[in-house]
Chains A and B, each alone.
Chain A
Amino acid sequence: MKITRRDLLKMGIKAAAVASMPLTIEILTPEQVKAEIEKSDVRWGFLVDTYKCVGCGFCVKACKKENEVPYDAPVTRTWVERYVITKDGRVLADSPNGARDGFNDNRIRGEEVPENEISKAFFVPKLCNHCENPPCVQVCPVGATYSTADGVVLVDRSWCIGCGYCIMACPYGVRFFHPEHKVAEKCTFCYHRIVKGMKTACVQACPFGARQIGNLKDPNDPITKIITTQRVGVLRDEYGTKPQVYYLGLDDNVK
């Protein structure tokens, strides 16, 4: 038999096509496809009810002790802000010592507001928003900070060089420089606790249920139900960071 150049090329292409075909075709169930795309069936989210918060600061105290944040240094992973809006439209806000010892004084930055002049007053707990698009992670030059599959933004203390880019990049000001470890520090959603099925230290310490944590990928999770069925807000939505800490009763004056 005589093989022409054309035949040889044809055979070659056919052989390559056959060889590149998979031996078995795997049919994935919808669940498997979902698992392949999403990788994790957990996405941690946080809910803050500002109506319930009384500004006791137990959350700040518990967080500092649980996570060994220097207790007397002016740094904290979470804090509580007080807002007092007067009837003539002035906005007064403070957070003495991050509210580690709560609020036990009527005066805000030394100013006493008479009771009948308060139009509204409330407390707003703040913590890392564990953004879906965390700008702090994007700017890290060494890959020391990252987002886990379940949506928690962490810092690798042994890899961080302490350059501080992430501290500048966070629009919420939740990152700071750890005075002892000399690296960037932030809220971890108490990763060591939530992966064991416990609540975060701040959620557990809150006597009034103003702080809650849940799995946003579980439609039956009580927190997810509130976030999906009630009117919730997030901080600085316009930045496009997609924060995952949701607030009930968020006011326009909260920055």
Chain B
Amino acid sequence: MKNHVWRPLYVVLAVVALILVARYLYVPKDFGIGERGFMYGYHRMSNETEWKEYKVKYQSHEYCNDCHPDKIESILRSTHKVIECENCHGPAVDHPEDPPKLDIDRSRAQCLRCHARLPYPTSSRGRIKGIEPDEHNVEMECADCHNPHSPGMGV
């Protein structure tokens, strides 16, 4: 065969080789097929570790109990015992080192999450004591009269 047939073929082969070399250099070495097979498991393995090492922020009331057992004990006697400390006090992260002080949400909106009255018969919401937000001491903060740690007795 003549040269004009072979020459473009060499060019094509060179381009293919170039792409393969670039791919070899660019794709991470741990890229491959995971346990879920090619369709669902094709990924970079070290990404799983990256997600596992993501920073935990919410530590749960057991973490709080190490230093504040008195607060835990007081709330356990109230109906609010089901609410995690961090729902109002904010994520502990590495408290007391970082942050040294937590930002407490004492707002009216925080209480209205559950205690704005919604008369829903097929949901537990209908059984929670609630107020009409537009009528019950508008403009006031709930915590002015009610103690969030013992809501039944604080009035």
A228 at the interface (CB under 8 A from B): no
Q: Which residues of B contact A101 (CB under 8 A)?
A: 109, 113
The closest CB in chain A to the CB of B126 belongs to A121
Q: How far apart are the CA atoms of A118 and B105 in the complex, in Å? A: 33
B57 touches A146 (CB 8 A): no
Known A54-B123, A122-B120, A143-B43; contact A204-B52, beta-carbon cutoff 8 A: no
Instruction: Give the contacting residue for A102; candidates B83, B86, B112; CB below 8 A.
Output: B112
Known A115-B119, A207-B82, A208-B124; contact A156-B56, beta-carbon cutoff 8 A: no
Instruction: Give the contacting residue for B52; candidates A50, A67, A146, A191; CB below 8 A.
Output: A191
A147 touches B40 (CB 8 A): yes
| 9-residue interface stretch from B4-12, B14-22, B28-36, B139-147 | B28-36
Q: How far apart are the CA atoms of A105 and B57 in the complex, in Å? A: 30
How close is B50's CB to chain A, nearest CB, in angstroms? Answer: 8
A158 at the interface (CB under 8 A from B): yes
How close is A135's CB to chain B, nearest CB, in angstroms? Answer: 10
Interface size on B (CB < 8 Å)?
A: 44
Q: Mask for A111-141, Cβ within 8 A of B = 1, else 0?
A: 0000100101111000000000110011000
Known A156-B47, A195-B52; contact A120-B122, beta-carbon cutoff 8 A: yes
The closest CB in chain A to the CB of B61 belongs to A204
A56 at the interface (CB under 8 A from B): yes
A178 at the interface (CB under 8 A from B): no
Q: How far apart are the CA atoms of A137 and B124 in the complex, in Å? A: 36
A207 touches B40 (CB 8 A): no
Looking at chain A's contact residues, the main secondary structure is: loop
Q: Mask for A71-91, Cβ within 8 A of B = 1, else 0?
A: 000000000000010000000
B60 touches A198 (CB 8 A): yes
A62 at the interface (CB under 8 A from B): yes
Q: Which residues of B contact A123 (CB under 8 A)?
A: 123, 125
A104 touches B113 (CB 8 A): yes
Known A58-B113, A102-B114; contact A205-B84, beta-carbon cutoff 8 A: yes
How close is A107's CB to chain B, nearest CB, in angstroms? Answer: 11
Q: How far apart are the CA atoms of A51 and B56 in the complex, in Å? A: 29
How close is A156's CB to chain B, nearest CB, in angstroms? Answer: 4
Interface residues of A (CB under 8 A from B): 39-40, 50-58, 61-62, 65-67, 84, 101-106, 115, 118, 120-123, 133-134, 137-138, 143-149, 154, 156, 158-159, 188, 191-193, 195-196, 198-199, 201, 204-205, 207-208
Instruction: Supply 12 further A-B pairs (C-beta < 8 A) apart from A54-B124, A146-B40, A147-B34.
Output: A39-B35, A65-B58, A104-B109, A105-B133, A120-B121, A121-B123, A143-B44, A147-B40, A147-B41, A192-B52, A192-B56, A193-B56
